[in-house]
Amino acid sequence: MAAVWNADHKDIMTDIIATRSGLPDWHGTTILSVRKSGQVVVAGDGQVSMGPTILKANARKVRRLGAENEILAGFAGATADALTLFERLESKLEQHPGQLTRACVEMAKDWRTDRYLRRLEALMAVVGRDVSLILTGTGDVLEPENGLIGLGSGGSYALAAARALIDIDGLDAEAVTRKAMAIAADICVYTNHTVTLEKID
């Protein structure tokens, strides 16, 4: 069975995962998840790029999953691949209701071993009320210790901004996320200010 790993010293960011797994560094995507004071948020920008060309500015990269829409998921990677993975994760959630970690581990096992699925190129942030996870095509299910996840070409910028903002009084998870995404959009040319945000209180 695949293991769930806790990041002891640092969060797992896209560039680190890309180096270890051989996956490309995804352009056209910034996904950020913030967990603070009983609220968890997942946000994604809307830009899709091919080289220097912007193909779309309002893509929706964050979805609600589960029977009661209680799971939030965001993806970095090829859209068709990510949609296939969303469908597979939904089926695992149906098989293991109320067990998000187990559903993610089972999906990660399939993703790594299935001949078709292992060709899919994406990274996923999947969060529920109690846990935040990163899923990769190498079979990893990673849980950052501080509940912050940043994926995609602007993910490290958004993650750094969120870390700086997380302890500021008066900013809830949504406010931290929106500010951090705006900072990433100002820095990363593959990220824009059109943000899709979903939250669980």
Could you give the residue numbers annotated as active site? 29
Whole-angstrom Cα distance, residue 138 to residue 94? 23
Residue closest to 43 by CA, chosen among 35, 52, 54 = 35
Is 39:200 a contact under the CB 8 Å cutoff?
A: yes
Whole-angstrom Cα distance, residue 130 to residue 71? 10
Whole-angstrom Cα distance, residue 124 to residue 81? 11
Please name the residue that has the structure tokens 């004071």.
37
Whole-angstrom Cα distance, residue 99 to residue 89? 12
Q: What are phi and psi of 113, to 5 degrees?
A: -100, -25
